[in-house]
Amino acid sequence: METEPNSEGMTRRRVTAVIAAVAFVSWESETVMANESSNSPGATRYDGIRFRRAQVQGVGIHYQEAGDPAWPDLILLHGFPSTSRMWDRLIPTLATRYHIIAPDYPGFGLSEAPSPTAFSYTFDHIAAVMSQLVKQLGIAQYTIVMQDYGGPIGFRMAMADPQAIKAIISQNAAAYDAALGPVWDARKAFWKDPVANREALQKNLLSLDAARTRHVGKTPNVELYDPNSWNDEYAMLNRPGMADIHTALFYDYRNNVASYPKWQAWLREAKPPMQVVWGRHDVSFMVEGAQGFARDNPNCETHIIDAGHFPMDEKPDEVRALHMDFLSRHL
């Protein structure tokens, strides 16, 4: 037997559905407006971060991609012995306004790590691989965000194709001798005599204690640092073949120091919009190394903050706000 529809119940359900729809549209509108109008570190976009892979010059390169490809492009170049994961606190904020590519270099993270006999581990070569990845992705102009090892890679990319560079953000990346403090004594000795000083170099650079010190430096706020950071990095460095790879690559670091005058001259000539954010508690790169950028480049702003070698470890909100403000003024 059929029953007559209950008009009162149907009306109640329709009203409930309309209220829910209006509430959803209102929430969605507010979310979009917040993402589009805010440069504050509170605006984030975690949805849609993609983990991809590309073959570049015969090497499998892992990279993260986030944000709309129609937006301005940012290339994030990580430090040592980190990976694209070091940007995990930054990418969701940048992705609200920018298109992000964050690769792992050959021999790092989830990218392939051919032996030093099959791949030349030099900063020239890694920069060439990163430049080729950018070209393969169809990116013609971009902003570099670089930290530590990302500095020598980023400078090489910029000088090889200066018309491609819209701006540079640098976190604790050395380009001046003043940055190289006492911790570099063992490293300089290795450059002079690699065989005699290999063991001392590996203790200074590749040990668990070195990985921890690289993060916490001289900070009084050790409790703000996630121990997983240096434990994960140390685990990567202890995979088969990694000690040889990173010893070989660090031997080439001497050519970065020799290149400092060339990079400084390029900054004086090109004068790209630039932001330097430097953690004062860094023992890998002394804070004095932060001062030269603005002397050579009048379009550089420098921020010394209470953080370590990886500024995002201790002051993620401050760093995100600084970067978003800089980018909003220059892109």
**Residues belonging to the active site:** 309
CA atoms within 13 A on the CB side of 257: 14
Q: Helix or strand or coil: residue 185?
A: helix
Place of tokens 């032996």: 115
Distances (CA, A) of 116 to 119, 128, 199, 245: 5, 17, 18, 6
Copy the structure tokens of residue 36.
């589009």
CA atoms within 13 A on the CB side of 17: 6
Distances (CA, A) of 33 to 27, 29, 30, 42, 44: 10, 6, 5, 13, 12
- Written as one letter, the residue type at 127 is A
Crossing angle between the packed helical segments 228-237 and 208-216, to the nearest 10 degrees: 140
Copy the structure tokens of residue 172.
């604790």
Gyration radius from the chain CA atoms: 23
Copy the structure tokens of residue 199.
């063991």
Residue whose C-alpha is closest to residue 280's, from 145, 170, 168, 172:
172
Copy the structure tokens of residue 151.
């500095």
| 123 Cβ contact partners less than 8 Å away, ≥ 6 residues apart | 149, 152, 153, 156, 249, 252, 253, 255, 256
Phi then psi for 222, rounded to 5 degrees?
A: -60, -30
Place of tokens 């995100």: 320
Please tell me the distance from the alpha carbon of residue 17 to that of residue 29, in angstroms, as a whole number.
Answer: 18
